[in-house]
Structure 1
Amino acid sequence: MTDMLPAAGSCRVGLMSQRRINLPQQTAREVTGYGDRRSPPPALLCRGSKTGLPVWMLGLGADRLRADMNRLLALLFHQGVLDEQFLQLQQLQDESSPNFVSEVVNIYFHESEKLLRNLRGLLMEREFSDYKKMGIHLNQFVGSSSSIGAKRVRNVCVAFRAASEQNNRAGCFRALELLEHEYCYLKNKLHELFQIEQQRVLAAGIRYPMQN
């Protein structure tokens, strides 16, 4: 689920060369599953294949990881980082598309970093005056952020767009710095969420032996 994501804590906006990927409307991309969920070999009845921990400990771990996910999501909603649209995105994920949310969000990351590079490139031009082009980039950013429930990023984009409509270059610079900060925070927190989810699926996917 997290193969496409950088390590947590890393967010170097403008320095990454990303390929162009269009954000799908809903199920435009095929998704891959977590692999074979058939019965594990006998060794897994005693030890987790990757962790080496007893199976009963992995069961408790799955419950703990689910609680960790809920706490992190609650924090992000309390901070206004996410809104209800993210929950609607999660509802589109099922057994046939177990990676749906992370794949859509990764496409959003690719597109967002390209837009951030373009915005900074425009502002760094010595004779910058193309506020209309900047507004087009910001409209795209507002739309894609709204589609995944990135509330705080979207709100900063709206303020950024207002500054660009007033031809306020200094205000645009301040808005860009805030936008980069909010984007990095969102990216790192969603990366953390997907890491926890991956660990939870691994723990929950192991079959447990019958107790006498």
Structure 2
Amino acid sequence: MSTPSQSFVTPSCRVGVRLHRRTNLPQQTARGLTGYGDSREVELRLVVCRLVPLIPHIRLAKTGLPVWMLGLGADRLRADMNRLLAMLFHQGVLDEQFLQLQQLQDESSPNFVSEVVNIYFHESEKLLKNLRELLMDREFSDYKKMGTHLNQFMGSSSSIGAKRIRNVCVAFRAASEHNNRAGCLRALEVLEHEYCYLKNKLHELFQIEQQRVLAAGVRYPMQNN
């Protein structure tokens, strides 16, 4: 018969399923309880093991985790955010301007970064639509207008630290200055791809941040719609 410590050495998926079946915890949350590796977290797993029969009676936070686990959850989510940001910087997707944007966020404006970035997304999608409409026009010849859209795109991308998108805009503008329609079409495809990648990754970052805030038990002021 295995001891509590031995049972938690098995793959987290199987243990998580067992924990899920024996408690009212969501299956994903139960799996998360078994995914730790360092000594401090192994201790926590042993505590959870002893408390398994009691977990249904422990008050749960909005995150689905017991209230007594909120601090640890917040730490892990912050680490997830840092890893994601490090990857985006390593890939050249973001630059230091994004960090400067984060420094402007505080308790009085807790959603500042996401609000600024969402405005950027809204404006960028209009610019992408305008660029595609221009290039799909068989009689298109207004490269100056295209250059204006690209300058706007470059400026807004620089302001949030979207480095790779800005670089694509530079190449796009060079093609438009040479009236290179084929080059512009290729650049537009790359720009749309880079935009989608950035949008998905930043949405992922903001979702982790929201989870971290809940896990930390922080209550932000309600926003007016």
Is TM (by shorter chain) over 0.5? yes
Equivalent of 2:168, from 139, 150, 156? 156
Residues of 2 paired with 1:139 and 1:82: CA distance? 19
| 1:152 counterpart SS class | helix
Q: Which runs of 4+ in 1 moved over 3 A?
A: none
Q: Deviations for 1:65-99, whole angstroms, at most 9, x for unmatched residues?
A: 00000000000000000000000000000000000
Which of 98, 104, 117 lines up with 1:86 in the alignment? 98
Whole-Å Cα distance in 1 between the matches of residues 90 and 110 of structure 2?
26
| Deviation sequence 1:147-178 (CA, Å, 0-9, x none) | 00000000000100000000000000000000
For the residues of structure 1 that align with 2:208 and 2:64, how far apart are their CA atoms? 18
Is the deviation greater in 170-179 or in 47-56? 47-56
TM-score, scaled to structure 1? 0.74
Contact 1:160–1:171 (CA under 8 A) maintained in structure 2: yes
Size of the alignment, in residue pairs? 162
2:146 match: 134
Distance 1:151 1:78 in 2: 11
Superposition TM-score, scaled by structure 2 size: 0.70
Name the structure 1 match of 2:83.
71
C-alpha distance in structure 2 between counterparts of 1:89 and 1:81, whole Å: 15
Confirm or deny: 8 A CA contact 1:48 1:58 kept in the other structure: no
Tell me which residue corresponds to 1:57.
69
Query: Does the aligned pair in 2 maintain the 1:61–1:200 contact within 8 Å?
Result: yes
Question: For 1:98, what is the secondary structure of its paired residue?
Answer: coil
Aligned-partner SS, 1:194: helix
Give, in angstroms, the shift of residue 60 of structure 1: 1.0
CA deviations 1:77-124 (Å, max 9, x no partner) are: 000000000000000000000000000000000000000000000000
Task: Name structure 2 gaps, 5 residues minimum.
Answer: 1-57, 220-225
Alignment map for 1:168-179 (pairs within 5 Å): 168-179=180-191
In structure 2, C-alpha distance between the alignment counterparts of 1:134 and 1:56, rounded to whole Å: 56
Bigger fraction of residues in helix: 2
Structure 1: 5+ residue stretches without partners: 1-45, 208-212
Which of these two proteins has the greater Rg computed from alpha carbons?
A: 2
Q: Higher relative CO (CA 8 A, sep ≥ 6), structure 1 or 2?
A: 1
Rounded Cα–Cα distance in structure 1 between residues aligned with 2:96 and 2:148: 26
Q: Do 1:145 and 1:154's aligned partners in 2 also have CA atoms closer than 8 Å?
A: yes
Aligned match of 1:195 in 175, 194, 207? 207
Inter-partner Cα distance in structure 2 for 1:199 and 1:63: 11
Coordinate RMSD, CA, aligned: 1.3
